[in-house]
A = this chain, B = another copy of it.
Amino acid sequence: MKPYAQMSREELMAEKAALEAQFAEIKAKKLKLDMSRGKPSHDQIVLSDAMMDVLHSNSYFNDETGTDCRNYGVLRGIPEAKRLMGAMSEVDENDMIIFGNSSLNIMFDTVSRSYTHGVCGETPWCRLDKVKFLCPVPGYDRHFRITEYFGIEMINIPMTETGPDMDLVEKYVESDPAVKGIWCVPKYSNPQGYSYSDETVRRFAHLKPAAPDFRIYWDNAYSIHHLYDDPDRQDVILEILSECREAGNPDIVFKFISTSKVTFPGSGLAALTASKKNLDDAAKHMLVQTIGHDKMNQLRHVRFFGNMANMHEHMRRHAAILRPKFEMLYDIFETSLGALEIGSWTKPKGGYFISFDALDGCAKAIVAKCAEAGVKLTPAGATFPYGKDPRDRNIRIAPSYPELDELEKAAQVFVLAVRLVSAEKFLG
């Protein structure tokens, strides 16, 4: 095979005809496959089944200070859970508050609180004419949906292999007081799987925001979600809170983590890491919102893992399931598309996604074509604010959920769709 751009019209016509025949064949199989969301597979989920055994009717239900976890109380989380989640977040237990089951919910509430009551005493955003967020693109659709929901103007910032374009970030953050935040997935970014370089993290920590209530929304969703035993140096990122402290900027970051992709999605723990000032501000709000989060689930997690080393060990079991899926996709993409120059893709060594860039103007058509053959992908455009990919080329691939044999079928449909849509593009 040679690049489509070098094929004659006749060659392309022949290619297209062959692809259409293959597509008809695959379509007839009436597949029903899903590569749309970063959902753990059945094999991953069962890894945590034993967590259901750690608490039983004869358990000791007190935390280490003697507080009965069955009853009301303890707003910020039991100490041992803060310590475990602190270790996961690479911070001291006092730098964190444990919330409910969802870090997305913490992010939503953080934005909502800023909107209704302001950040640490600053003007509530609902009283401002304009609030803006920087959005590294492609990025995580659920982040963008939160800011869109609150009427916040989103500004696209191009992502690179070392993180967002920091020249642009500095320019916006340091000159425009309407810029109140930036969404970041600093490690194994969603969807590219890029990890921020030391320089990127340090430039974040040294930002001099024009707005006193500017915050970095640091969603460390894949902090311990490596595919290989020894992460590459580039995937070991600096801890942002301590970098901010060293830079004399302790208050500019909110860091979010959760065990949604460690234990059970929807029944895990989520936590906020931040400076004392920020945590106290969040706690003031929490005090009105709730009497406390689920301490029994905190206890369950602590007793299941015991320590951070065991959590890492647990993650290696996830990796053993996920790694072959990612590697298979890299192989299929390389074999089927490598020579054609009609798409490029990332090859992350952790996280949950692969970012695929098709030829300009082809993403929507490829996703539609896949749907036609029963393969569900994240909607094209979803990785951009307002669902608008200006070049209509980015597709997020989520390999985790299907079993290996199903994933292979789905990937074959995908590469076929990419080739077909690309051939059509060249044919005009």
Contact = CB atoms under 8 A, between A and B. Distances in A.
Residue among A37, A57, A58 with the highest chain B CB neighbour number at 10 A: A57
B57 A45 contact: no
A37 B48 CA distance: 36
B264 A70 contact: yes
A272 to B, nearest CB: 15
A71 B266 contact: yes
Interface in A63-95: 68-73
Given A264-B70, A290-B102, A291-B266, A53 B57 contact: yes
A290 B105 contact: yes
A193 to B, nearest CB: 20
A289 B53 contact: no
Given A56-B52, A112-B116, A72 B39 contact: yes
A146 interface: yes
Contacts of A49: 57-58, 61, 70
B57 A264 contact: no
Interface in A144-160: 145-146, 149-150
A108 interface: yes
A108 B286 CA distance: 10
Interface string A40-58: 1010010011101101111
Contacts of A59: 52
A398 to B, nearest CB: 12
Given A52-B57, A100-B100, A116-B115, A267 B290 contact: no
A104 B294 CA distance: 14
B296 A266 contact: yes
A267 B297 contact: yes
Contacts of A215: none
A192 interface: no
A254 B145 CA distance: 26
Q: How large is the interface on A (under 10, 10 to 19, 20 to 34, 35 or more residues)?
A: 35 or more
A292 interface: yes
A173 B316 CA distance: 60
Contact of A48 (B68, B70, B288, B291): B70
Interface string A291-308: 111111100000000000
Interface string A124-167: 10110000000000000010011001100000000000000000
A392 to B, nearest CB: 24
A300 to B, nearest CB: 9
Interface in A18-48: 37, 39-40, 42, 45, 48
B289 A104 contact: yes
A145 B124 CA distance: 19
B45 A68 contact: yes
A355 interface: no
Contacts of A100: 100-101, 294
A408 B391 CA distance: 74
Given A42-B68, A57-B49, A72-B266, A289 B37 contact: no
Contacts of A294: 100-101, 266-267, 294, 297
Given A101-B293, A149-B285, 6 more contacts: A42-B68, A70-B264, A104-B291, A105-B290, A108-B288, A116-B150
12 contacts: A42-B68, A45-B70, A49-B57, A49-B61, A52-B56, A72-B266, A102-B290, A108-B290, A112-B116, A124-B126, A142-B291, A266-B293
